[in-house]
Amino acid sequence: MASRTVKRKSVVTDPVEPMVTPPPLSTDTTFLTKPKIAARSRKRDMPEGLWTKCPSCESLIYDKELDDNLKVCPKCGHHLPIGARERIHSLVETCSFEEMDAEMQSLDILKFTGAASYEAKLAAYKKKSSLLKDAVVTGVGVIGTHRVALGVMDFSFLGGSMGSVVGEKLTRLIETGSSRGLPVIIISTSGGARMYEGMFSLMQMAKTCGALALHGKLGLPYISVLTNPTYAGVIASFATVGDLILAEPAAMIGFAGPRVIKDTTQADLPEGFQTSEFLQEHGLIDAIVPRRDMRARLVYYLDFMMAGRRPA
């Protein structure tokens, strides 16, 4: 079956190459704190690619430290964006991830031209990232003791937007989960459907939900994890039909963007509107799980959800 070509590619090695090679690890903590002072006096001289300013608490974090902490600010716990491959690496057992459809790429089926051509956009994004061919990475891997069908979206590729590739890769992933009797886990981050593919993008919503409908009929689990940000076409499809819906802390999650809502209703938005915490309060989210606890928590849930299927 040509459609089931499984590309065996592991993410054993640290896939994210820092823009500048970090200096050797040192126990000298003065080295870590020094640029903070420098930054206060001469902000522009801050060496790029070595330090990141936390968007929440504004403290400077050494990139290596940030990477080791799964892109979570060690000072305030703010969750910064994390690439799909890095996230997969943080979840699966070493060498266990077999990537699927790694070569699948988007096609400018509508020959979308206008202010920007889709063709040019795609080319630019592919050039920018050698690690991503589109906005989702899918494959089968082992989390704890559970083999799972895992899909992880990446916001850095065209805002994580869902076009035919995202829809097709996720549908194949779900179908693989169904046929191999595996739980499906999808970790979302997306601005919504990809405009450039018009109605083909919208139809990916029905397609992925359809595949999940059949998956659910087999009594197999589907866990949806929402991360910052997840919106629109993705929130109105596979991301909200999980048996469990989890979210990272303080993620922005919603159907319509806050500005659209404000413009339409001319009303002030409530405090904390569209955050994970707000949505848990309003009954959508089962649990808010910090990134560094995610792996263990997924194992915990799967232990229960797969308990009935395990041979005694």
Partner 1 sequence: MKHHLDFEKPIAELQRKLEELKQHPENHSLGISWEEEIRLLERKIEDARRHIFSNLTPWQRVQLARHPKRPYTQDYLRLAFTGFEELHGDRMYGDDRAFVGGFAQIGDRKVVVIGTQKGRDTKENILRNFGSAHPEGYRKALRLMRLADKFGLPIVTLIDTAGAYPGVGSEERHIGEAIAVNLREMMLFNVPIIAVVIGEGGSGGALGIGVGDRVLILENAYYSVISPEGCSAILWKNRSAAPDAAAALRITATDLRQLGLVDDIVSEPVGGAHNDPAATAASLKDAVLRHLNEVSAQPVEERLRNRYRKFRSFGHVLEPSAQAA
Summarize as ranges the residues that interact with partner 1 (CB under 8 A): 2-3, 5, 7, 101-107, 109-110, 112-116, 163-165, 167-168, 171, 193, 195, 197-207, 209-214, 216-217, 232-233, 235-241, 254-256, 260-261, 264-265, 267, 269-270, 273-274, 279, 282-284
Q: How far is the CB of 11 from partner 1 (least distance, A)?
A: 18
Q: Which is nearer to partner 1, 52 or 276 (CB)?
A: 276
Q: How far is the CB of 190 from partner 1 (least distance, A)?
A: 12
Residue 58 to residue 223: CA distance in whole angstroms = 33
Whether the CB-CB separation of 14 and 84 falls below 8 Å is answered with: no
Q: Which two tokens stand for residue 70?
A: 């799964």
Task: Write the DSSP symbol of residue 31.
Answer: H
Q: Is the peptide bond before 229 cis (omega within 30 degrees of 0)?
A: yes
Compute CA distances 301 → 84, 182, 224, 249, 270, whole Å: 22, 14, 12, 18, 32
Residue 223 to residue 233: CA distance in whole angstroms = 18
Q: Which is nearer to partner 1, 148 or 235 (CB)?
A: 235
Looking up tokens 């989890």 gives: 246
Q: How far is the CB of 59 from partner 1 (least distance, A)?
A: 32
Q: Which is nearer to partner 1, 104 or 182 (CB)?
A: 104
Q: How far is the CB of 163 from partner 1 (least distance, A)?
A: 8
Single-letter residue type at 201? S
Compute CA distances 147 → 94, 182, 239, whole Å: 13, 7, 21
Q: How far is the CB of 234 from partner 1 (least distance, A)?
A: 8
Residue 83 to residue 88: CA distance in whole angstroms = 9
Q: Which is nearer to partner 1, 80 or 200 (CB)?
A: 200
Q: How far is the CB of 249 from partner 1 (least distance, A)?
A: 19
Residue 44 to residue 189: CA distance in whole angstroms = 31
Q: How far is the CB of 214 from partner 1 (least distance, A)?
A: 7
Q: Which is nearer to partner 1, 72 or 205 (CB)?
A: 205
Question: How open is the CA angle 63-230-213, to the nearest 5 degrees?
Answer: 125
Q: How far is the CB of 268 from partner 1 (least distance, A)?
A: 9
Q: Which is nearer to partner 1, 140 or 239 (CB)?
A: 239
Length of the chain: 312
Single-letter residue type at 104? M
Q: Which is nearer to partner 1, 45 or 271 (CB)?
A: 271
Whether the CB-CB separation of 309 and 219 falls below 8 Å is answered with: yes
Q: Which is nearer to partner 1, 65 or 175 (CB)?
A: 175
